[in-house]
Structure formats: C-alpha cells, structure tokens
Structure 1
Amino acid sequence: MHHGEYKVPGGKLVVVDLEVTDGTLCGVRVAGDFFLEPDEALDAINGALEGAPADTDARGLAARIDAALPAGAVLFGFSSEAVGVAVRRAVADAAEWTDFDWQIIHEGPQPPALHMALDEVLTHEVAAGRRPPTRRGWEWDRPAVIIGSFQSLRNEVDERAAERHGVTVVRRISGGGAMFVEPGNTITYSLCVPQSLVQGLTFAESYAYLDDWVLAALGDMGIKAWYKPLNDIATDAGKVAGAAQKRVISGAGAVLHHVTMSYDIDAAKMVEVLRIGREKVSDKGIASAEKRVDPLRRQTGLPRAEVIERMIASFRARHGGADGVVSDAELARAQELAAGKFSSAKWLGRVP
C-alpha cells in the first residue's frame, strides 16, 4: 500500500492511498478536508484513477479525472491536478513534514559570505543523513546584495553605489534574482530538506509546497498572502518575499529552499545599488520601488523580532521542531568556504 499527501497551497489537503499491481494503479482511495459536490463525484475520481499506468504524470491523471467527473461537479479547495500530484507522491513514497524531527536554528548576526557557505554546508549534511531537516533563521551583520548563481554581476549591481553605501555583494548557490538586505530590515530563512519531502513534485510545485507554511504564518498575523509563481509571496499591497532553490544530488539528495522577506526597506538605496531595480520600476511605469515591495512592518504593525517569533511558532505548530545549533565541524567547514569560495573574486564574478 502506498500513501501520499499533498497540501494545496492556500487550499485543502488531498490524501491518496493506493496499490500498484503490474504497473497500474489499483485500490485507489482519495480523501481529504476538501469540499466536493455531488457526493458521487468522489467515486468518479477513484474510478478514473483505477487502472491508470503508474507512471502517468499529474496532468495525465488530472485529465482522466476531468473526463470522469459528472456534469456540474464542484471541487472546492483542491483540483483534479492536486489529486494527480498526491497520486504521484504516493507512488514515489514521498515523505511528509511530520515524518522528520525538525531542527530550528536562529543564531546571531553573521557575515554575508558565511550565510552563503552555511546554506551549502547544511544542505549537504542533510543529503548525507548527518543532519535532520533544518529551518535556519539568518541575522545579517551588514547590508548586502545577494545575486543569483547565474546573474551577471555588472548587469545587476552598481558596484560604485554599493561601495558608497557600505553594501557587501555576494553570490549564492541558487538561481533567481538579486536581493537587497539590511540588518533589522530583512527576515531571511533557509529550509534544508531531504529530497524525499518533495518527491513526486515538479520543480515549480516544490516552491509552492515549501512556501505553504509561510502563507499560513502570515495569515496568523492577519496578512492574506499567496504564492505567485515561480518564486514570490505576494499580498494585495505588493510582493513581500522571494524564494530560491538549489538541489543537492549527493547522498540521498536534498533541497535548499531559502526566502528573503522585506520587513522594512530603504527603497531609494535599493534602486541605487541594484541596476535591475531601476529597470523593473521603469518597465512598469512605477515611480517608486516601494510600490513593488511592501514591507511586513507596515502590513503587520509588529516589531521585527515578534514577526520572527510568530513565524517560528507557526512552523512548530504545524511541523514540530526543536532548537538546534550549527555544530563546530559544520561551522569550521562553512568558515573555510566563506573565506575561500564565497569571498573570492572568481566566484563573485563567475558571470561577469
């Protein structure tokens, strides 16, 4: 018997139990906290999946379900494709959040290069099975710009402006766009998770899946937020966060998913330092970058430390987690990487 679960981002939980016999699905039973009308539509969903080739992708499974649903059927809080994703996770024997003993780390301010290195080291440790899945909160010891792994340094950053404002520029191991951060104005965290947690999900689906708890945490603070493909968290007032990922294929595999949230922002300084910031603002005919990024300070009215505390509490309430630390061995390795790889002109300018 295979069991799979998929929490629809901003929606309901879909649970699937099934068997695989001679390469086909059988004994399929779909359940969850969703809403579905009429009742017999559930039998139609189960019947549509019965006998499907076990390697059918989520879209193919959704097409079978859509063809079998009775006219006028209403699926609320989920979709036929969400059922397909749950089936794929069942067949792949994907893990669930609560299958793990999570470790939560939140230490004092550290240099930007060390944060880049810690992400790499801890994710490799999770892949090797030497560290449990980890949520690590960051504190910054200085202003910084973090460019994506594949971005051009000269196209993204005005290095003279960065030097003038005392902004350190570093390159991370994940893709995506440049982030402007300042101590006290930014909330940053990383999830270092086993590959098994996102098994059966596409690259895009894994972003939404790993961000879903954040939407709930923001909701607990009175903010209606949603996932905006591929990697943004948005509200009616504007974007509040951006995410990026890196896959590690060594050992059992792991995923680094890190998120930068704007608690407050010096929009004028950001646009001076980030060249792409000027382009994006100009392209949308917006006079101020502040219209594109709306800080959590304004939306919550809470001190930054309390926002962080509430986010950690929300994560624990949903997935558990004990306080942890970076080990001496992990820190030593990260310091070595920070001083070598992440502080080197070669790495920073690898895409000039």
Structure 2
Amino acid sequence: MKRVVSIAAAVAMTAGLAACGSNDKSAGGSGNGSSGSEFKAAIAFDVGGRGDHSFNDASYAGMEAAKKKIPNLKITTAEAGEGENDQARENRLSQLAASGNKAIVAVGFVYAKSIGTVAKKYPNVKFAIIDDASPDSKGTNVEQITFKEHEASYLAGVAAAKMSKTGHIGFVGGVNVPLIQKFEAGYFAGAKHANPKIKIDKTYLTPAGDFSGFAAPDKGKASANSMFQKGADVVYAAAGKSGDGVIQAAHSAGKWAIGVDSDQALTADKSVAGSVLTSAMKNCSGTVEDFVTSVKDDKFSGGNKEFGLKEDGVSLATTGNHLSAEAKKAVDDAKKEIVDGKVKVSPTPSK
C-alpha cells in the first residue's frame, strides 16, 4: 500500500474542492502527464478494504499489474469507513481527482451516485466503477465494469452438488442486494441442475442498505456453523471479508467452503485455506489493469463493459485439485453449455 487517504482528510478538503469543479486544470488538464513524467492513478476501496481476500484485493492486484507496464505509475489508495454515506464517498473521490490522479477506480456499486457526481466535476479525469452499470454512475468519462457473476456461481453450484456427500449445501450472502442475489441465483440453478434433489440453505448477513455484511467475519462464521450443524457440507460465501468466517467455520467442521471473487485457496489464511473447495472468481484484476493502461495510452472508452465466462471475465478456480473427476467433468460440461449459448443462467433468484 503506497498511501491511504482517510475519510477525515477527505472531509477536511471539501471546502477547497468545491472551488475546483470542471475548471480545475491541474486536476483534469489535457494529456496524461502528471507531476512531470509521473502518471498518477488511484483506487477507492469498498467496505472491507485491503486484506478482504476478495474483490478489493483483486481490484488492487490490477493496479499492481498495471504498474509493471507503467514504471512511472504512482498509486494512491483510499479506504472506506463503515456506515459512511454518499457524501463521504463523494468527498473521497473528489480529493483523489483534485490530487492529479488521471485514472480513478471505485470498487463497488456503493460508489454509483458519488462517482456520477464527481465525474461531471472532473471531465478530464477518467473513472471506473466495479459492479455497477446504473444511470447513477453513467458518464462519458466513466467505464462501468460489470460481471456475469451468476455464470461462475452456476459452476460453483454444480461443483458443490457433485462434491456434497449429504445432498445438503448452503449459501451465505453478505448484503441482500441485487448484485449478491446474482450469486445466489447462479449457485442455486447450477446445484439443482447437477442434483435436482439437492437441499440448499441460504442466509444474508445484513439487509439492503447495511453494508456491514461485507465486513463481518464473525457473522459469516456463525451462519456457516449453523448450516454445517444442520447437515450442509459445502457452503458458498458471496460476502466479501465476511467470507473469511465461512472458511474458518468449514475448517473447524471438516467441511468445504467455496470462495468468491478471488482464488481464496490462495488468498485465505494458510491455516484454513485447505478447506476452500474452489472459488467463483471474477477478473477484477485484469479489468482494472486494462482500464489504467487504456487511460495512460489514450485509448480509454467509457460505457458499460460486461464480462462473463465467454470473455474469461469469470471462472471457477481449480487450485488444490479438490474436485473429483466427476465434478470436474460436470463443471466443464456446464461451462461449455453456457459459453455455447445452450444454457442461459438467470441473474435473478427463482421465486
């Protein structure tokens, strides 16, 4: 981590930022030079921040990959605070734009309204938002990066059903919002395709509007423990840092956890990583890397870019080689059916 911009610092600068707007040539001037030969880019994290072993870390990995291509890249990081509002997020993004960053990545749909507002104030700065394609974040200088999480989750469901010895699996969602419901929808569909009689428990750690569900490993652990005690032997967590608790619970119970966004068999604590059966991944790293390099190379193009199995934007991890031959074949067959268009995975849970 190069530098952390705190919420307090962002708020303190709000008055000064109000005068910048779209007329601030130092922050949004033409060309991609910044502080001489230095090229500045920034990433604003979602709740859970660095060390979530999930999509915040995966997104930052994209920044590190971009630095290998852009030696003069200076990366600024900004952490999110629990329970903050749109104004706090707007202040954070404004501070980053006013500091001369040419490419700014906002991790998570919670930044939708704030990035839409700030992007208009700094038309010469390029922004990217992960997991949102709503009108709130839309702008000519905004790239909306979204994924077909339901497709990777479908494969996770197939794997879970094929590997379950009890015919009973579970799903833990961080926050009950449409994005996380996509994970649920795909997982349920894939599991039922592999085993029509499969029993699936589900729970959401917090309701819509309460984003603490993405940063509560204790709640994730308690929910998974409850499922394991009821007979589930594989639990999939789409819950950000809260998924750490699900993996811990799986390890203690001698059961399996399925990770999300990153390959959590590699990112989870080594003492419990062996309990990660597989992970439904999305290529946050590659998309962030492409965004930053496109800005540096003057090849930026805004708008929504959606990535699924066909585009290698989502996938299922094989680290640890835990899947049986039967499960591997079922997953491979399911992937081919989706890529070939023979199976359409719904992004919304069935009623």
Q: TM-score, normalised by structure 1?
A: 0.27
Higher Cα Rg: structure 1 or 2?
A: 1
Q: Which has the higher helix share?
A: 2
Q: Which has the higher strand share?
A: 1
Q: TM-score, normalised by structure 2?
A: 0.27
